[in-house]
Amino acid sequence: MTAPATAQRASTTRPRRPRPRVGTFVAILAVLVITVWAGDGIDFDLAPLWTDFGRGWFIIQEFLAPNWDYVGRTIGPFIETLSIAVIATLVGCTIGLAMSLLASRVTTANPILYRASKIFLSVVRSLPDVGYGLLFFAIVGAGSLAGILALIFFNIGIIAKLTSETIDAVDRGPLEAADATGASSLQRARFAVVPMILPNYLSYCLYVFELNIRASVVIGIVGGGGIGSSISVEFARFNYSNVSAIVVLLIVVVFLIDLLSQSVRRRLT
């Protein structure tokens, strides 16, 4: 009886269409102005794309003809890149898990420890992967150690951020139950928190592994060892057909690892 009555009452007064908001136009205009201003500031110009095209043509020709004979000699560096990525993922993700427990209010009751961990992780994240590559190249010299150390820091930042946010959203019921048995907060983390976040955490680890394969190439270019070093060397020798062989192979390897990792991740969650 009441339903039709309310329906009728609701349909009598259609709301007037709200006026378009001025804020939207202002925002769009602001973005446009900033973009034009930024482009003007660096004398942005698309002209070299066609005026200088011919100059680079012979390089592109070399690129279009990859030197497949060179592929055999890249296997060693490729394995080094994979090894760097695996070691860095294992170490980085382990430290990252410990840090994520410290950086969540759910598992760290002490406000000073929690704040300090959050700030530490912000600092760790402020440097990009290449930044760490250059830093450790300066500290330990060229080679795989620099690459591994760079990736470990890069991984701690990502893993701790993603995992601590997952911990924040965990169901509090089992935690309360563990508290009620007289378990300590570390025991609670081990038996209630970690099992609940494990699928997400492992999925993040695989994601970070994917990132590491790609990042280790760039880090290798700045002195981190592996296939990146080979690219850097061949570039310096102007062997563009060798570079292109590496790039083609790299695309295949990264694609395969992404496929594998994604299929595993789908099964996890």
Question: Which contacts qualify for 10-17: CB closer than 8 Å, 24 or more apart?
Answer: none
Q: Which is nearer to other proteins, 158 or 178 (CB)?
A: 178
Per DSSP, 225 falls in state -
Q: Which is nearer to other proteins, 193 or 221 (CB)?
A: 193
Helices (H), the chain: 2-12, 22-41, 48-51, 57-64, 75-102, 111-126, 129-140, 144-168, 172-180, 185-188, 194-219, 227-236, 240-268
Per DSSP, 45 falls in state -
Per DSSP, 108 falls in state -
> Of the candidates 63, 179, 218, 247, which one interacts with other proteins according to CB under 8 A?
179
Q: Give me 29's structure tokens.
A: 């205009």
CB atoms closer than 10 angstroms to residue 249: 18
Q: Which is nearer to other proteins, 7 or 180 (CB)?
A: 180
Q: Which is nearer to other proteins, 143 or 199 (CB)?
A: 199
| 48 in contact with other proteins (CB under 8 A) | no
Interface region with other proteins, contact rule CB under 8 A, candidates 57-65, 94-102, 170-178, 238-246: 170-178
| Residue 175: CB minimum distance to other proteins, A | 8
Decide if 129 contacts 218 (C-beta within 8 A): yes
Q: Which is nearer to other proteins, 101 or 151 (CB)?
A: 101
| 190 in contact with other proteins (CB under 8 A) | yes
| 178 in contact with other proteins (CB under 8 A) | yes
> What is the total residue count of the chain?
269
| 110 in contact with other proteins (CB under 8 A) | no
Q: Give me 80's structure tokens.
A: 């080094």
- Touching other proteins, residues 198-237 (CB under 8 A): 198-199
| 11 in contact with other proteins (CB under 8 A) | no
| 173 in contact with other proteins (CB under 8 A) | yes
Q: Which residues of this protein are in contact with other proteins, per CB under 8 A?
A: 173-174, 176-184, 186-187, 190-192, 195-196, 198-199
